[in-house]
Structure 1
Amino acid sequence: MTYHSSPAPWCSALSTQHSVAGTWLGVLEAQGFKLRIVLKITQTPEGKLVAKMDSLDQAANDLPIDTITSESGVVRFEARALSLSYEGKLNDDGSEIVGNLKQGPATFPVTFKRTEKAPTLGRPQDPQKPYPYSEEEVSYENTIDKVRLTGTLTLPPSRKPVPAVVLITGSGGQDRNETLLGHRPFLVLADHLTRRGIAVLRVDDRGMGGSAPGSPNATSENYAEDVLAGVAFLKGRKEINPRQIGLIGHSEGGMIAPIAAVRSKDVAFIVMMAGMGQTGTDVILMQGDLLQKASGSGPEMITQVRKAFEQIFAILKAEKDNVAAEKKIREAVVSQMATMTEAQKKAFAPVLGTINAQMKMYVSDWFRYFLLFDPGPTLAKVRIPVLAIVGEKDLQVPPQENLVLIEAALKKGGNKNYTILLMPGVNHLFQTAKTGSPSEYGVIEETVSPTALQTISDWILKQTTTRKRANTRKVG
């Protein structure tokens, strides 16, 4: 991230009473997430203001600010690369700058407070080199879609072929470590599993890191073929036991894992981390309710937000033309807002900003597929061992509703070896959490609960060292 404001001449005149030079800490809240922003302002001997910025929770430091000015107590800065701008008012004692940050069509209130020292980002679970296992940069191709994928293969020391897993990221473009807010959960998971004797392949999504972008019209069906290309790659490695290759998918990855598994006899087991049992539409609507409640919205606003997205999803299901769908969505939202009071419109403004910012995503083939997808029929075809875990405090994939449907589908299909677990005290990322709100993700130092890590590795080792078949369900 970086910041930008309307082009203004460099100005040596600061607030008549207070200089803005120094370190400032602000918090941007968007879609339930809290991002801490550190603004570092210095003044040259010539009186010119120069600034850089850290997006602390994204582990992005020293991002350049193109221009920054302070005139008559009004502070403005701009970062053109990210289309970000800020304008705020310096308070009387020079301790706060209160204003708004803009990115594209969205506007967010951000108050910067002067601080002596910026907080640091603690990620104590990140593994440190040298590792007690080998690590290799690898590349292979999804020959069906002609997409080259790049990732990391970690191999435990062993004289005989070992079990292996392919990690599958959640929705949106993700790198091989599933990096989010400074956390690298797939790095932590891969390290844990490899230390326990399980080889791990983690891969950059299409268009991320070293992987090719592929078609802009790709859906989860295409991503399942990417996964199977990874399975085929592992089968060709002499270090890997070809009969013990499994999949671990997180969030959307937990939806993709069963899709891939029913297409190939080479998949020996799957782990669904916060995977879906509900349809995509139901998951998003319930997620919206939970996130609105967690952010402090009352029943009235929760109802308004759900109504808006129910209308959006109905339009997307009925209107196949993207231009027409966008037009109808905008008209529906405007019509709904016309019935609101001024107070309701003000409370709804961040939701409107989200809708505008994500409009192109809504009409994408990927999102249209996700809305209509029902995991049940696919899960009913899965005959291999399945571990399905969801955090008790998960607000993005409602735990009880999804675990019940996952179990019902597996049971209906006659699966004889599945384990269903509700994991106490953890959120969507499987961090030990207080509320489960995404606003906690970056603040929590733990990347993945040790209990979750142990549960996954114990289960995989059980599947790869014994032929016992049994169903298990544990809640709490």
Structure 2
Amino acid sequence: MRKVRSMIVIACVCLFLFSQLVSSEEGLKKKAETFLMHLKNEEFERAFDQFNDEMKKAMPPKKLEKTWNEVVFKLGELHSLGESGLLEEGGYQIVLQTCDFEKGRIDVKIVFDEEGEIAGLWFLPHLESHPYECPEYANKDLFMEGELIFGVKGWELPGNLTMPKKGKNLPVVVLVHGSGPNDRDETLGPNKPFKDLAYGLSSRGIAVFRYDKRTKVYPNKIDVFNLTVEQETIEDALAAIDFVRATDGIDEDRVFLLGHSLGGQLVPEIGGRDERLSGVVVMAGSARPLEEAILEQIEYIAKLDGKITKDEEREIERIRKQVRLIKEHKVGEEELVLGVPGRYWYDLQKRDPIKSALALNCPMLVLQGKRDYQVTWEDYNLWKEGLSAKKGVAFRLYSDLNHLFMGGEGRPTPEEYSIPNHVDERVINDLAGWILSN
């Protein structure tokens, strides 16, 4: 089960086109069930017939068969369908169907267009409902929280600003997410690391702005095949900086930028486009190409039980070949590889986080958990080596923290992400101390 969840998350970094969705609840649920039964029975042409025109272009029968076989390879045969629900995201109707496989349970997210045809498909880890509990190091009596709308025209996004009740001309931190269609809390299972950061820092006199990612709010508008991190991340982060700088109660000369994971990789470049920033924080930001990190994660998870089966080795070799194709620029710009088009990979290759960091004219803080198997301390060492001659850079390595900067013991596993936890208080205190001193 440890292998299963994370390999699916990594292998299914899915970005599909959507259309406007209107249909009856029971009708949509029945269509979702029929679609999954076609997959179970290997009737891929019949399943393909339920796609709309855009999905048919993105996922022809052979690609659909390959995707389903990857799921079955990791989870075993589909045994039964569990509960299903109809969701709305940005005004669109989505069926979330729980599926019980031989080796575990996942949620299949199926999106329907106004004609009742399938316009989007995800295979996701099954998430149990866990109400958020405020961490002990945060005190909600010390700050206010409100929802605000900001953003690039036509791509406005909702976000939350937490403001300490005491003090004037407050410092503020803008949080930048990792990869995927993240919400403002960067929710993963029962954990909400960005909410922890906001509540912890605002309990210590620092305002925090966090927001839903563009790919979450506008899945129907995103042109997947022309998507780069410019539209996915950078434009909205710059808009968020401008927005908080103009907000009452904020000191416009004390604006900080914090990025986690892919966000951590990109914040040096984002910071270089705003010379007024007071500081940049990299939390578990990769210093290496993303495709290398994905392959390394797959290999790590496969070895968790102490052995690699022949099927697992074949899957790893398949990923290796895809990584080589990306590196050798042998992927078409609109060809999906590792879940995203070639254009996205090639754009990301042009960006050098350490080079961007060296050009920054503001202080930097680099944080890393040593138990992080997604962005490892090899990346942390690359940051230290690359920035060794640069003044104004501080580093913190936490021996017992994982990718979410949450504590644990022993060898890190994907299962940790399904256990309710909070960002470690040491991280909150180190961040607060660094921000307030700059």
One-letter amino acid matched to 2:227: A
Alpha carbons of structure 1 residues 214 and 162: separation in structure 2 relative to 1, 3 Å: farther
Q: Which residue of 1 aligns with 2:235?
A: 225
Structure with higher Rg: it is 1
Q: Which residue of 2 aligns with 1:407?
A: 384
Q: Which residue of 2 aligns with 1:149?
A: 157
Higher fraction of helix = 2
Alpha carbons of structure 1 residues 305 and 240: separation in structure 2 relative to 1, 3 Å: same
1:315, CA displacement in angstroms? 2.2
- More relative contact order in 1 or in 2 (CA 8 Å, sep 6+)? 2
Please, which runs of 5 or more residues in structure 1 have no aligned partner?
A: 1-25, 35-64, 68-73, 89-97, 111-118, 327-358, 464-476
1:320, CA displacement in angstroms? 4.5
1:455, CA displacement in angstroms? 1.6
Q: Which residue of 1 aligns with 2:91?
A: none
In structure 2, distance between residues paired with 1:75 and 1:459 = 52
Q: Contact between 1:426 and 1:436, CA under 8 Å: does it hold in 2?
A: no
One-letter amino acid matched to 2:246: G
Alpha carbons of structure 1 residues 244 and 313: separation in structure 2 relative to 1, 3 Å: same
One-letter amino acid matched to 2:424: S
1:250, CA displacement in angstroms? 0.7
Q: Contact between 2:227 and 2:344, CA under 8 Å: does it hold in 1?
A: yes
What CA deviation, in whole Å up to 9, does each residue of 1:25-68 have, x standing for no partner? Answer: x999322589xxxxxxxxxxxxxxxxxxxxxxxxxxxxxx979x
TM-score of the pair, normalised by structure 1:
0.63
Q: How does 1:428-439 map to 2 (within 5 A)?
A: 428-434=403-409, 435-439=411-415
Matched residue SS, 2:142: coil
Q: Tell me if 1:235 matches 2:245.
A: yes
Q: Which residue of 1 aligns with 2:54?
A: none
Q: Which residue of 2 aligns with 1:191?
A: 199
Alpha carbons of structure 1 residues 307 and 164: separation in structure 2 relative to 1, 3 Å: same
Alpha carbons of structure 1 residues 363 and 385: separation in structure 2 relative to 1, 3 Å: same
In structure 1, distance between residues paired with 2:309 and 2:362 = 43
Q: Which residue of 2 aligns with 1:337?
A: none
In structure 2, distance between residues paired with 1:296 and 1:372 = 37
In structure 1, distance between residues paired with 2:362 and 2:105 = 52
Q: Tell me if 1:394 matches 2:372.
A: yes
Q: Which residue of 1 aligns with 2:81?
A: 77
Q: How does 1:173-184 map to 2 (within 5 A)?
A: 173-184=181-192
Q: Contact between 1:286 and 1:398, CA under 8 Å: does it hold in 2?
A: no
Alpha carbons of structure 1 residues 244 and 207: separation in structure 2 relative to 1, 3 Å: same
Q: Contact between 1:231 and 1:266, CA under 8 Å: does it hold in 2?
A: no
Identity %: 25
Q: Which residue of 1 aligns with 2:261?
A: 251
Counterpart of 2:284 (choices 274, 281, 286) is: 274
What CA deviation, in whole Å up to 9, does each residue of 1:173-219 have, x standing for no partner? Answer: 00101111011111111011111111111010004258995543332
1:289, CA displacement in angstroms? 2.7
Q: Which residue of 1 aligns with 2:212?
A: 204
Q: Contact between 1:383 and 1:416, CA under 8 Å: does it hold in 2?
A: no
1:395, CA displacement in angstroms? 0.3
Q: How does 1:100-139 map to 2 (within 5 A)?
A: 121=130, 124-125=133-134, 131-139=141-149
Matched residue SS, 1:422: strand
TM-score of the pair, normalised by structure 2:
0.68
In structure 1, distance between residues paired with 2:365 and 2:123 = 42
Alpha carbons of structure 1 residues 447 and 101: separation in structure 2 relative to 1, 3 Å: closer
Counterpart of 1:448 (choices 390, 400, 423) is: 423
Alpha carbons of structure 1 residues 291 and 318: separation in structure 2 relative to 1, 3 Å: same
In structure 2, distance between residues paired with 1:140 and 1:321 = 35
Aligned length: 345
1:299, CA displacement in angstroms? 9.1
Q: Tell me if 1:315 matches 2:319.
A: no
One-letter amino acid matched to 2:330: E
1:85, CA displacement in angstroms? 4.6
In structure 1, distance between residues paired with 2:313 and 2:434 = 41
1:131, CA displacement in angstroms? 3.8
Q: Tell me if 1:417 matches 2:392.
A: yes
Matched residue SS, 2:4: strand
One-letter amino acid matched to 2:161: L
Matched residue SS, 2:354: helix
Q: How does 1:15-34 map to 2 (within 5 A)?
A: 29-31=4-6
1:156, CA displacement in angstroms? 1.0
Q: Tell me if 1:262 matches 2:272.
A: yes
Alpha carbons of structure 1 residues 85 and 391: separation in structure 2 relative to 1, 3 Å: closer
1:272, CA displacement in angstroms? 0.8
